[in-house]
Structure 1
Amino acid sequence: MFQLYYKHAAGTRDDLLSGLTVALALVPEAVAFAFVAGVNPLVGLYGAFLMGLVTSLVGGRPGMISGATGSMAVVMVALVSQHGVEYLFAAIVLTGLLQLAFGSLKFGKYIRMVPYPVMLGFVNGLAMVIFLAQMEHFKSTGADGHLHWLTGSPLLTMLGLVTLTMAIMFFLPKITRAIPAGLAAILTVSLLVIFGGIDTKTVGDIADISGGFPAFHIPAVPMTMETLTIILPYAFILAGVGLIESLLTMSVVDEMTSTRGQGNRVSIGQGLANTINGFFGGMGGCAMIGQTMINVSSGGLRNLSGIAAALFLLVFIMFTSDLIAMVPVAALVGLMFMVVIGTFEWGSFNLLNKIPREDSFVGILVAVVTVFTDLATAVIIGVIATALTFSWKQARHIYAVHEDHKNGARTYRVHGPLFFASVHRFNDLFDPEDDPQKVYIDFAMSRIADHSAIEAIDQLAERYKKAGKEMHLVHLSQECTQLLTTAADLVEVNIKEDPHYHVADDKLA
């Protein structure tokens, strides 16, 4: 009994300390993404607070952290610049409703269909995005009002503090795990800067994060069809980007913890959080893989860690903004660099010569597209590329073995799947002009996969008919015989022996 209590208390301690570490890392991220979206920093901080709190309370994925994200911020910027922040709040409400519908219809399970090379590219691409985002902190505003790279003493100071942060995070877990390495590193570097009088950029130099509790606010937009036509396209894109990043982050946590999250529940949690965001002045968001990695690696494996992170962030905003303003940015950059190292799948380099070249290409493609465009586009392109590659490889597997009979007839025994990518190869297997008067085509070892396959059979029947030959189709499924038109009268069906499978055709929907 005491052992169970100790284990529960230790887990609670880990969740609270992990939540504190995550909250500290959330501050500059939320502020930075607010600037990207073109809104007040508090809008980003409120978005991070509400996303983290609501998703963790609803259930979400234990250990997963949600907040304001760059992938959604880059979509918001056009809406804010053209129509103002109130339209953004309305779009976030609609985004949440779309995500709620997605989860309620139980579409979250389809994330399991994302191929592993796409997952690998997603993780590596996101690690590079996080790394590149930190580069902005190595710049300062010059006398001309433009950003310039740090040089001389400021650069050396920044690099030294970043290196110290990373060293603490690397070596401390080898000594003790009583306190999260990230939190220890931030506190150590902060105390060194404050009491050592080191001149370096702090959180307070980025923005003022002081504020109150977010207030209920109905978006001040006209309730007209014109408003709907403005926000609907953005809402669809935001909902898609948010769900893809959240569900893929869930899959990453599943792999890290050897557990399985609930995609539909995550989708509903994200939807409810975004809907509430729109009514409380937040910029919305989705799951954050960087903060999630910090949380899980620090021992935050339950929903309590996400709740703690959100509440600590609110405390920073309302009561301790002056203290948080003194935290050096270098400490948070070092923390995020360690996240990059932990997120990137370094083993993928060893896989380049061990997996099919097509899979390597897809992984690299997704990573590159993630860096230069956005996550949703990268994943969609990756899935399409994987599907096309698979189709091309499967299309080469169709062939036919023919057998001539004493009565002068010929039987073609088709092997391999017949679908849109293999129909041309299928047509080349037969020669109606030179074939005998009577031909049998046996589909017992073949699969009729889609409507293109049905059309190919119909066209083949037409070719034999024009040549004045008899063509008989045997061992076709009942579904296929119902869809055939030209060849319908030529089918010989043996229901007891016939393979039973369904053709992917809209006529059967």
Structure 2
Amino acid sequence: LGLPTRTLGDMAHIAGGLPQLALPAVPWNLETLKIIVPYAVLMAMVGLLETLLTLNLTDEITESRGYPDRECVALGAANMVSGLCGGMGGCAMIGQTVINLSSNGRGRLSGVVAGLMILLFVLFLSPLIERIPLAALVGVMFVVAQQTFAWASLRVLHKVPVSDVLAIIAVTVVTVFTDLAVAVLFGIVIAAVNFAWQHARELYADSHEDGEGGKHYQVHGTLFFASTTPFLNQFDPANDPAKVILDCQHLSFVDYSAIAALKTLRERYAKAGKHLRVVHLSERCKKLLKRAGEQH
């Protein structure tokens, strides 16, 4: 029909040569560093996150165990060398890895062959690559996206908690409209808020009166900023006897909010003319109280 077909060569030329040492021709001062650091941190975060996600996916598919620390160190060293040679930063790619694994590539030889073929494309076969129609590349990307997406996660959405479903949907949407680094940070915030909410609801106290006219409270859970109100609601200073013992054997203090809550509880009992004694504090709790200037 005579319709024009755009090819890869219409967008960019991939022909190149062997790498050479190429230090950046920029002023080596603080102003340059201020410009570079934000982008460097963002690229490092995205590279590390995608590499770790790829490693996790590879471990699941191959039923093996990878070494994240080695992968991260190797990735950082390779990117530093690449930068000194005028190259761009890179990381492990989920799409290429899935295609490699689906083609039964399991050993190091598959990665070596992939690297050598890319080198041949850049040095000698670039004219052939530049003749590939963009429509074909679009089809390839759709296939990669279809193979990469964890479709099994959709079948378990009705089996997991609502908070996890919201986190999955939110991270997916944020990834589409922003980038992977922002999406992961967003997911971490959601998970942290959900974790705090769940732990705050799990705090409870058992109480009983002893034969000497006192009352014992044994609190179970984690005391932090989100659980201070449920913690204080476990006690009744107005109706409790004159001597109250708080057993912290199963209570963990996390932050300064926990210290402030304990101080508030003591003040409430003191205002009611009663004495609160705290026992079985862990060494970590004692250090927190000592640092805050509280006596236990």
Instruction: Look up the match of 1:456.
Output: 261
Instruction: Look up the match of 2:278.
Output: 473
The alignment partner of 1:286 has SS state of coil
Alignment of 1:38-77 (within 5 A): none
Alignment of 1:94-133 (within 5 A): none
State whether structure 2 residue 8 is matched by structure 1 residue 203: yes
Distance 2:250 2:128 in 1: 72
Amino acid at match of 2:191: T
State whether structure 2 residue 165 is matched by structure 1 residue 360: yes
Residue 334 of structure 1: which of 139, 144, 155 is its match? 139
Q: Give the gaps of 5 or more residues in structure 2.
A: none
Amino acid at match of 1:297: S
Instruction: Look up the match of 1:345.
Output: 150
Tell me if structure 1 keeps the 8 A contact 2:249–2:282: no
Tell me if structure 2 keeps the 8 A contact 1:457–1:487: no
TM-score by length of 2: 0.91
Residue 288 of structure 2: which of 480, 483, 491 is its match? 483
Distance 2:210 2:13 in 1: 88
Amino acid at match of 1:422: S
Distance 1:482 1:449 in 2: 11
State whether structure 2 residue 56 is matched by structure 1 residue 251: yes
Deviation at 1:487, TM superposition (A): 5.7
Distance 1:478 1:278 in 2: 48
Deviation at 1:372, TM superposition (A): 0.7
Deviation at 1:445, TM superposition (A): 3.1
Instruction: Look up the match of 2:130.
Output: 325
Amino acid at match of 1:237: L
* Equivalent residues, number: 294
Distance 2:294 2:87 in 1: 61
Amino acid at match of 2:179: D
State whether structure 2 residue 64 is matched by structure 1 residue 220: no
Tell me if structure 2 keeps the 8 A contact 1:362–1:386: yes
Q: Give the gaps of 5 or more residues in structure 1.
A: 1-151, 155-198, 492-509
The alignment partner of 2:219 has SS state of strand
With over 3 angstroms needed to count, the CA separation of the structure-2 counterparts of 1:314 and 1:487, relative to structure 1, is: closer
Which structure has the highest helix share of the two? 1
Distance 2:196 2:85 in 1: 47
The alignment partner of 1:429 has SS state of coil
Identity across the alignment (%): 49
Deviation at 1:394, TM superposition (A): 1.4
Instruction: Look up the match of 1:405.
Output: 210
Distance 1:153 1:406 in 2: 99
Tell me if structure 2 keeps the 8 A contact 1:394–1:417: yes
Instruction: Work out which structure has the larger RCO, using CA pairs closer than 8 Å and 6 or more positions apart in sequence.
Output: 1
TM-score by length of 1: 0.54
Tell me if structure 2 keeps the 8 A contact 1:352–1:360: yes
Deviating 4+ runs (over 4 angstroms): none
Distance 2:76 2:44 in 1: 8
Distance 2:294 2:89 in 1: 56
Tell me if structure 2 keeps the 8 A contact 1:202–1:325: yes
